[in-house]
Amino acid sequence: MNTSTSQIERNRTIRRNGGGAPNIIIREACDRDGVVLGHLVTSHDGTPEGIVAATRRATQRMLDAFADACNVNSRIIATDAAGKPRWSVSPNFAVLEELAAE
């Protein structure tokens, strides 16, 4: 995947201003005891449907990569176009909840 120079600079600017990568899903893989096994990241298109689809992909990757991963104990966060954590996704993908503003 080629990333344009302007996109790289945009991402650097967002991070300098307190944001992370824009429009991504962060899936924190945890075992049944809550021990963090790793993190998986995938992009989404910013729509609720796109966030859920990306979350499903990240979940499948998590289950393939970590035999001890527990779906219920593994957190799911989606960032917005500015790279700020914006939504939490339920483990069954049914609820997309907006996080409280800082």
Q: Averaged over 28-42, what is the pLDDT?
A: 95
Look at residues 29, 31, 49 and name the one whose alpha carbon lies nearest to residue 39: 29
19 pLDDT more than 70 = no
Q: How far lies 27's CA from each of 2, 3, 100, in Å?
A: 24, 23, 19
* Total count of residues recorded for the chain: 102
pTM score of the predicted model: 0.77
Residue ranges making up the domain that contains 12: 5-98
- Residue 30: helix, strand or coil by DSSP? strand
pLDDT digits over 56-77, tens only?
999 999 999 999 999 999 999 9
Residue 6 pLDDT greater than 90, yes or no? no
Residue 10's CB: how many other CB atoms inside 10 A? Answer: 13
Distance of alpha carbon 54 from alpha carbon 42, whole angstroms: 7
Q: 């096994």: which residue's tokens?
A: 37
Number of domains in the chain: 1
